Amino acid sequence: MPAGNQAAGEIALHRIALVVSSVWIVVTVVGAATIAFKAAGPLLIGRRSLPPHVQSVVDLLAPVMLIALVVTQTFGGDEEITVDARVVGVGAAGVAIWLRAHVIVAMAVAAAVTAGVRVIA
C-alpha cells in the first residue's frame, strides 16, 4: 500500500528531524551550562568559598547521578524493570573494576559479556 508506506516514511522523517534537533538542544544547553560552571569560580566567586551546606550537596551530586545512571542502564526497560543479559555484563564489569581494571577494560568486558549472553540466550 503506497499511501501507507508514504505516511510511515513521513513519520520516520519527522522522527529523524526531532532526534536531530533534540540532540542540538542538549549540546547547546549542556555546553553553555558547563562553560558557566567552570567559569563560576574564577569569574564570580574569586577567593571566597562555597557555604558548607551547598558544598556538601554539590559534592554528592556526582556519585548520586552516576549510580542512578548505572541502575537505569542495567535494569531500565520501557517503564518496567528488566533483568536480562545486561545484568550479567555489568556484574562482570563490576568484578573487573574490583580487580582494578582500567575503565575502558571494564566497558569492554561489559559489552563483550552482554553480547555473548544475548547470542546464547
Q: For the segment 15-74, give every residue that binds other proteins (CB under 8 A).
A: 19-20, 22-27, 29-35, 37-43, 45-50, 52-53, 55-74
Q: How far is CA 79 from CA 65, 74, 87, 92, in A?
A: 19, 13, 17, 25
CA nearest neighbour of 118 among 101, 73, 110: 110
Closest CA to 113 of 56, 105, 42: 105
- Cell reading at 29: 544547553
Closest CB to other proteins among residues 6, 13: 13
Q: Which is nearer to other proteins, 7 or 65 (CB)?
A: 65
Q: Is 121 in the site for other proteins (CB under 8 A)?
A: no
Instruction: Check binding of 80 to other proteins (CB under 8 A).
Output: yes
> Using an 8 Å Cβ cutoff, are 74 and 94 in contact?
no
Min dist CB 79 to other proteins, Å, is 6
Q: Which is nearer to other proteins, 6 or 28 (CB)?
A: 28
4/46 with CB nearer other proteins? 46
Work out which of 7, 8, 17, 77 binds other proteins, going by CB under 8 A.
Answer: 77
- Angstrom CA distances, 75 to 13, 69, 86, 114, stand at 30, 10, 8, 13
2 makes contact with other proteins (CB under 8 A): no
